[in-house]
């Protein structure tokens, strides 16, 4: 066994993998998909980007909807400090614990690109997103795809862990199209409709071939992207699910936790 310092896991830095030289790693973020989803929307008033990073998705929104008010949410102070150049407002908070400090039904569009796979508390996050979205508002999010073609081959033929969900990576939760849609319907029945779905990046092919393959086989792409639209009023459904489903894990549910699994009350609105 070698030490962590002696050997880096290829997935931690894609270019270290033998096939990495052929891949455009920027494709995994699906900026062209985000652009297509955002372009399809009616004029947007207020946009919230969870885990805004360098603000590239907010820049896409601003280009397509110049009058939109853009709000960046970041957990890291270093990244948040640089977001003022691209966002109208920057908030520093932990989306897995804090309330989103906005009134119910006040947001037109929420974006979370390559963020949700880093989180455990999806019930809390989807509760907060759904609460602040107005009826008819959109949630656009992208994640790595556990059912990507290269993961299927690696697991079936070689028994290898899916590359985006190795134990020593930063990703703690897998996503696929079918399971994500099942999650939404189980937790918030009839609450969201799927307005758009697409794939981006097709490992290990170069950009031109990868883009063609994601159109033909989107559910086998490296990353998957959802555009879901809120179609009914929300009354805390996501927070009740861990309790009603008797999930034996201490998911954070803030004030809604009635069995002790939810922990102490959540942070008050800022």
Domains and CATH numbers, the chain: 28-231 (3.40.50.150)
pLDDT of residue 255: 79
Interatomic CA distance for residues 128 and 123, integer angstroms? 9
pTM of the predicted protein model: 0.88
* pLDDT tens per residue across all 270 residues of the chain: 444 444 443 444 444 556 566 788 899 999 999 999 999 999 999 999 999 999 999 999 999 999 999 999 999 888 888 899 999 999 999 999 999 999 999 999 999 999 999 999 999 999 999 999 999 999 999 999 999 999 999 999 999 999 888 999 999 999 999 999 999 999 999 999 999 999 999 999 999 999 999 999 999 999 999 999 999 999 999 999 999 999 999 999 997 754 434 443 343 343
| Cα 131–chain centre separation | 17
Quick check: 50 and 95 in contact, CB under 8 A? yes
pLDDT of residue 264: 38
β-pair partners for 199: 224
Quick check: 49 and 73 in contact, CB under 8 A? yes
β-pair partners for 262: none
Interatomic CA distance for residues 168 and 165, integer angstroms? 8
β-pair partners for 141: 112, 226
């Amino acid at each position: 066994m070698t030490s962590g310092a002696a050997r880096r896991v290829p997935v931690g830095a894609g270019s270290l993998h033998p096939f990495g030289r052929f891949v455009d790693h920027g494709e995994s973020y699906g900026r062209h998909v985000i652009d297509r989803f955002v372009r399809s929307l009616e004029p947007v008033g207020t946009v919230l980007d969870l885990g805004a990073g360098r603000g590239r998705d907010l820049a896409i929104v601003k280009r397509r909807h110049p009058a939109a008010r853009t709000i960046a949410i970041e957990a890291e102070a270093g990244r948040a400090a640089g977001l003022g150049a691209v966002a109208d407002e920057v908030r520093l908070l932990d989306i897995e614990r804090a309330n989103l400090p906005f009134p119910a039904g006040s947001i037109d569009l929420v974006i979370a690109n390559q963020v949700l796979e880093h989180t455990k508390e999806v019930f809390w996050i989807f509760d907060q997103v759904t609460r602040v979205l107005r009826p008819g508002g959109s949630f656009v999010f992208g994640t790595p795809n556990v059912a990507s073609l290269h993961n299927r081959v690696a697991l079936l033929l070689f028994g290898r862990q899916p590359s985006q969900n190795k134990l020593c990576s930063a990703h703690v939760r897998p996503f696929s199209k079918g399971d994500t849609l099942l999650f939404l319907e189980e937790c918030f029945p009839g609450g969201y409709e799927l307005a758009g779905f697409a794939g981006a990046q097709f490992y290990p092919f170069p950009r031109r071939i990868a883009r063609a393959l994601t159109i033909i086989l989107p559910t086998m792409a490296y990353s998957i992207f959802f555009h879901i639209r809120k179609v009914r009023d929300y009354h805390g459904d996501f927070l009740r699910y861990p309790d009603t489903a008797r999930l034996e894990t201490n998911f954070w549910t803030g004030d809604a936790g009635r069995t002790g699994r939810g922990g102490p009350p959540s942070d008050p609105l800022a």
